[in-house]
């Protein structure tokens, strides 16, 4: 009898783990079965806003591999519409509910990967279950939103929550000709940025015609004939023909926790560097798993596809008998809203303070191309830098182009614990169409280093 690997969750982390394992162990040695409760496997949730906004025309292009392809190409049995409802570690069995036939059965495993992703936060507001109110987490929700926009032709949308999913959905709806209002209880959009940088994003979103209602709490959703008709906040009532929830997510650890698998301080499943959980033969990867932050040295829950794919690969290599480790994250993320690119890496001010660093911050304004070059655009860079050592702790960039890719230079520097003094002479590329002679990255590093030097003179402790 071959050994049996069961995967719970058929997207980025789960199916990366399955595919990597299969590369190392063939079907005569290891049977691989994946259970996915939704209708798709290996899809790009990241592409949902672009599918809704019609930048991506065909749904099929967001699906990397279907269950049929997994069966034919990888000898992996990927069963959609199958939800795992419980894990029994002693009996080495999972309980699986077939959502089409509404029947339940037990399935045995020798090894198990929990790749259940994240659960969107859904408050208990009156009216939240009305037609026309959508979450955005899995592909079927993206499909439902696009269908609603195509068929119902909403004139007004309210997006609740302004994390990167909220702002990307605001852009998508705007691109479809819908008037968009965005409600956020924090004083700024994108709370992964410092407040001053968030304020810049707010200003630019307003200039693009997106209405922003900050520091307002939603209290309910009004409906008419079962359909959402308005979002009510503690300040006003906003008419809405479609409501999109982007309030955030938490690691989906329910079945793991119930089975007694250890949960980390961030709320994600605790894993070691090989992606093993506290239970023998049970692995975890992706949004449901805790990550190690290389700058704060803390466990964090950062739900990003880039991590899910890498962690799934690492788990799969190890299950397959190889050896690989996941070295952690530095908190790099990027997004765009209309013409504005927003990117961050490392720690923002409050995070650096919480992690116990003493630091300085500096914000510099520059341009994306040589000043004389046509279409040069402003770009703003903020750095958080440790006192004395000058070690880079975090960076945030807002610009009309080049922010997303420039953040990768800072991410690489952070990864290698570089100081801004080491960064300021980095051999970065220069030609007038791509950068000023002093790239914004180098200007930011140079200015921050001067500040660190000044702090040293004042307080040479």
Ligand X SMILES: Cc1cc2nc3c(=O)[nH]c(=O)nc-3n(C[C@H](O)[C@H](O)[C@H](O)COP(=O)(O)OP(=O)(O)OC[C@H]3O[C@@H](n4cnc5c(N)ncnc54)[C@H](O)[C@@H]3O)c2cc1C
Which residues of the shown chain bind ligand X in the complex (CB under 6 A)? 8-14, 35-38, 45-46, 48-49, 83-84, 115-118, 136-138, 165, 252, 255, 286-287, 303-306, 308
With H, G, I as helix, E, B as strand and everything else as coil, classify residue 3.
Answer: strand
Closest Cα to residue 418, out of 391, 394, 446, 448?
A: 391
Minimum Å gap between C-beta 35 and ligand X is 5
Between 205 and 452, whose beta carbon lies closer to ligand X? 205
Minimum Å gap between C-beta 165 and ligand X is 5
Render 311-380 in DSSP notation, one character per residue.
Answer: HHHHHHHHHTT-------B---EEEEETTEEEEEEE--HHHHHHTT--EEEEEEEEESS-TTSTT--EEE
Minimum Å gap between C-beta 271 and ligand X is 12
Phi/psi for 411 (5° steps) reads -60, -40
Cα gap 296→299, rounded to integer Å: 9
Minimum Å gap between C-beta 340 and ligand X is 15
Between 50 and 449, whose beta carbon lies closer to ligand X? 50
Between 134 and 357, whose beta carbon lies closer to ligand X? 134
Place of tokens 């987490």: 137
Q: Is 461 exposed, middle or buried (0-12, 13-18, 19+ CB in 10 A)?
A: exposed
Cα gap 259→124, rounded to integer Å: 27
DSSP 151: H
- 288 catalytic, yes or no? no
Q: What is the crossing angle of helices 67-74 and 12-24, to 10°?
A: 10
Place of tokens 């900050």: 214
Between 229 and 284, whose beta carbon lies closer to ligand X? 284
Between 11 and 401, whose beta carbon lies closer to ligand X? 11
Between 86 and 387, whose beta carbon lies closer to ligand X? 86
Between 255 and 275, whose beta carbon lies closer to ligand X? 255
Place of tokens 């503690």: 234
Cα gap 27→35, rounded to integer Å: 17
Cα gap 35→401, rounded to integer Å: 41
Phi/psi for 375 (5° steps) reads 65, 20
Minimum Å gap between C-beta 324 and ligand X is 18
Between 12 and 443, whose beta carbon lies closer to ligand X? 12
With H, G, I as helix, E, B as strand and everything else as coil, classify residue 292.
Answer: strand
Residue 421's H or E segment, with its range, is helix 420-423
**From 46, 288, 338, 387, the catalytic residue:** 46
Phi/psi for 70 (5° steps) reads -60, -40
Residue 174's H or E segment, with its range, is helix 164-175
Minimum Å gap between C-beta 371 and ligand X is 31
Minimum Å gap between C-beta 360 and ligand X is 30
Place of tokens 């791509």: 434
Minimum Å gap between C-beta 121 and ligand X is 13
Please give the positions annotated as active site.
Answer: 46
């Amino acid at each position: 009898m071959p050994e049996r690997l069961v995967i719970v969750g058929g997207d980025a982390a789960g199916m990366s783990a399955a595919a990597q394992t299969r590369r190392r162990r063939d079907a005569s040695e290891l049977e691989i079965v994946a259970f996915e409760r939704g209708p798709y496997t290996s899809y790009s949730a990241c592409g949902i806003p672009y599918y809704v906004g019609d930048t991506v025309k065909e749904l099929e292009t967001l699906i990397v591999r279907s269950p049929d392809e997994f069966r034919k190409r990888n000898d992996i049995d990927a069963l959609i519409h199958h939800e795992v409802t419980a894990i029994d570690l002693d009996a080495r069995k999972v309980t699986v509910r077939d959502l089409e036939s509404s029947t339940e059965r037990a399935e045995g495993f020798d090894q198990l990967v929990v790749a259940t992703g994240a659960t969107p936060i859904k408050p208990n507001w009156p009216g939240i279950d009305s037609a026309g109110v959508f979450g955005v987490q899995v592909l079927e929700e993206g499909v439902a939103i696009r269908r609603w926009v195509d068929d119902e032709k909403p004139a007004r949308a309210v997006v609740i929550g302004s994390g990167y999913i909220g702002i990307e959905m605001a852009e998508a709806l705007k691109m479809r000709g819908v008037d968009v209002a965005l409600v956020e209880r924090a004083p700024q959009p994108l709370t992964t940025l410092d407040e001053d940088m968030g304020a810049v994003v707010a200003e630019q979103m307003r200039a693009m015609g997106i209405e922003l209602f900050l520091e307002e709490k939603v209290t309910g959703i009004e409906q008419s004939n079962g359909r959402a008709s308005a979002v009510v906040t503690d300040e006003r009532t906003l008419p809405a023909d479609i409501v999109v929830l982007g309030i955030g997510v938490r690691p989906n650890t329910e079945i793991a926790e119930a089975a007694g698998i250890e949960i980390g301080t961030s709320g994600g499943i605790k894993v070691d560097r090989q992606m093993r959980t506290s239970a023998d033969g049970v692995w975890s990867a992706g949004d449901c798993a805790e990550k190690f932050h290389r700058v704060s040295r803390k466990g964090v829950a950062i739900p990003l596809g880039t991590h899910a794919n890498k962690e799934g690969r690492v788990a799969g290599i190890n299950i397959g008998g190889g050896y690989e480790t996941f070295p952690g994250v530095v908190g790099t993320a990027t997004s765009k809203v209309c013409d504005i690119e927003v990117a961050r890496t490392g720690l923002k001010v409050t995070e650096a303070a919480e992690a116990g660093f003493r630091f300085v911050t500096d914000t510099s304004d520059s341009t994306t191309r040589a000043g004389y070059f046509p279409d040069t655009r402003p770009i703003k860079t903020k750095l958080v830098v440790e006192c004395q050592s000058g070690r880079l702790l975090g960076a945030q960039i807002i610009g009309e182009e080049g922010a997303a890719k420039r953040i990768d230079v800072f991410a690489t520097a952070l990864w290698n614990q570089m100081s801004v003094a080491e960064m300021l002479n980095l051999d970065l590329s220069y030609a007038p169409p791509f950068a000023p002679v002093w790239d914004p990255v180098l200007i930011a590093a140079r200015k921050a280093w001067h500040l660190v030097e000044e702090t040293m003179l004042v307080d040479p402790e």
